Structure 1
Amino acid sequence: MTTARTPASDPRTTLRAGLPDRYLTPEDLAVMFRLPSVETVYAWRKKRIGPPGIRVGKHLRYDPQAVRTWVESLAADDAA
């Protein structure tokens, strides 16, 4: 069963509308960046090319500010 996301809970709005008050999951990043699967996020982490993640127990989480900084660095690289 899939659940529909409300606009307020849609992680794609995170970088546009401000930072959420929670850490992001790999699934949030996959939706936010419209990736083919969450496995892409795990591959980024393994290759150290994506935003920095942290382990909280056995769970992988992403600080929204770190994700924003990573996106801004990509934009700066493209502009250069």
Structure 2
Amino acid sequence: MDLLEDWISRHDLAISLGLSEDTLWRWDAKRTGPQRIKLGRKVYYQRCAVRSWLEARIAQGTQRP
């Protein structure tokens, strides 16, 4: 069993979302992106946390001010 099968790297997440890794860095700095962990110099995102974060973005977009 691969220990990281439920996790996605910053590079792979950027590709999946059609974003640059720099955008994910900025989101991390602002604490507006999905939660992440750091293992040494590598950054990983839990796939279920990314899905939850995306779903929250949909919910926020449907609310009226």
In 2: Cα distance, 1:56 partner to 1:25 partner: 11
In 2: Cα distance, 1:52 partner to 1:22 partner: 14
Q: Higher relative CO (CA 8 A, sep ≥ 6), structure 1 or 2?
A: 2
Q: TM-score, normalised by structure 1?
A: 0.67
Identical aligned residues as a percent: 34
Q: Which runs of 4+ in 1 moved over 2 A?
A: none
Query: Quick check: which one's strand share is greater?
Result: 2
Tell me which residue corresponds to 1:55.
Answer: 38
Tell me which residue corresponds to 1:16.
Answer: none
- Stretches of structure 2 that go unaligned for 5 or more consecutive residues are none
When the two structures are aligned, how many residues end up with a matched partner?
A: 60
In 2: Cα distance, 1:22 partner to 1:64 partner: 6
In 2: Cα distance, 1:64 partner to 1:44 partner: 17
- Stretches of structure 1 that go unaligned for 5 or more consecutive residues are 1-20
Q: CA RMSD in A?
A: 1.6
Q: What is the DSSP-based 3-state SS (H/G/I as helix, E as strand, rest coil) of the residue aligned with 1:43?
A: helix
Q: TM-score, normalised by structure 2?
A: 0.81
